[in-house]
Amino acid sequence: MKRFFRWLYYTLPRRLNTRYLFSCRNYVFEVTYACNLNCSMCCYLQEIARKQGEIQKRTELTGNEIRDIVKQLPRKSNIAFTGGEPFVKKGFIDAVREAKQRGFSVTIGTNGVLLTPGLCAALVELRVDQIGLSLDGPREIHNQVRGKPNAFDGLVNGIRTLREARDTAGTRAPRIMVNAVILPKTYELLPETIRIMKEIGADTASIEAMDGSYERSASRLRDTIDPNISPMENVPRISAAPFRECLEKTFDVANGINLPLSVSPRGMTIADLVAYYQGDFNLAAWQCFVPWETCRISPYGDLFPCMNCRIGNVRDQSLYSLWTSPRYAAFRQLFKNGKTRPCCAGCCKLAKRR
């Protein structure tokens, strides 16, 4: 029944190639660009520096505005809240409460440093579905990448505090998922990083191919995009033989400690990862239906799809009118029938063709 519902809701409108769709049920909210860390790879920090603070001059959505947008979402919606660091946003927890009271699935991406006992108790009480965190390696490496000397200890303490809140309530929600992005300077530490994830309390783990694109962020919204520009030249290279050996060891470690380990993009094999970091990404092996299934909302209320193509603003138009607008329909035409374009390379939303 669920498969039929999904086919009716998403697949049929896509195959009919119509702009008249059912309401979107999958949302990513970029809650804020503010953050309590200073991560070296953060595209938002780079944009602030590049534009000399221009993106800070706009007014972000308030916590109440985010909550009001949540009220517009249809039944059985799925929401991912991310940032910046969502928990620095005043009133953010009220938006989460609104979402859970409406029965929505909620995932929150955080660096973990602000997971206090009171906040963790609230997240457990609200039955938030998943908390996503990142670990870059052992303490010294993680602190270096995150730009703060207490980042690692803050992450560890946050996870332990959340687990204690779960234990007190006798529940396993929220699930704790910890991710590691594969980088040249840290890939050799992946087996150790996986062990640390298990030790600090992760329920599941993932390793993620570095996305070389800077065109999937609302900080660079534009009216048109060129789908034929590939981000692969921005992906660093890693020597194939030692990388393959390290990946094999990483999966062996995960299996040995009984920690479920996934790869992003979904379906990527060890061979795919090795090829990717050699600059080889076979677009024909991948598909994507995100333009028909998901939309993103920036801290300023801009609605955009997977790429940074400006559709409109939720302060000016309803979600449904933006979702079914001619601009969104034109964007979908670039990727109709799940076709991938060079700009898609490395995107975490891709799925391997069967």
pLDDT digits (tens, 9 = 90+) for 261-277: 999 999 899 999 999 99
Give a yes or no: residue 107 inside a domain. Answer: yes
The percentage of residues in the chain with a pLDDT greater than 70, rounded to a whole number, is 94
d(CA 301, CA 142): 32
Over residues 177-200, the pLDDT tens digits come to 999 999 999 999 999 999 999 999
Residues 250, 252, 257, 258: is their CA dihedral positive or negative? Answer: positive
Domain range spanning residue 278?
23-352
Give a yes or no: residue 1 inside a domain. Answer: no
Give a yes or no: residue 193 inside a domain. Answer: yes
Give a yes or no: residue 9 inside a domain. Answer: no
Give a yes or no: residue 17 inside a domain. Answer: no
Give a yes or no: residue 245 inside a domain. Answer: yes
Give a yes or no: residue 317 inside a domain. Answer: yes
Report whether 343 contacts 227 (CB < 8 A). yes
Give a yes or no: residue 111 inside a domain. Answer: yes
Q: Which residues, including other chains, have CB under 8 Å from residue 345's CB and lie 6 or more apart?
A: 212, 213, 230, 231, 232, 281, 283
d(CA 327, CA 305): 11
Q: Given this model, what pLDDT does residue 18 score?
A: 65
Q: Given this model, what pLDDT does residue 72 score?
A: 93
* Torsions phi, psi for 178 (to 5 deg): -115, 130
Domain total for the chain? 1
Report whether 198 contacts 191 (CB < 8 A). no
Higher pLDDT, 230 or 81: 81
Q: Given this model, what pLDDT does residue 186 score?
A: 93
* Torsions phi, psi for 81 (to 5 deg): -100, 130
Over residues 239-252, the pLDDT tens digits come to 999 999 999 999 99
The answer on pLDDT for 17 being more than 70 is no
Over residues 273-328, the pLDDT tens digits come to 999 999 998 888 998 888 989 999 999 999 999 888 899 999 999 999 999 999 99
In angstroms, the Cα distances linking 17 to 296, 334, 346 are: 21, 12, 26
Structure pTM?
A: 0.92
Q: What is the CATH number of the domain that holds 202?
A: 3.20.20.70
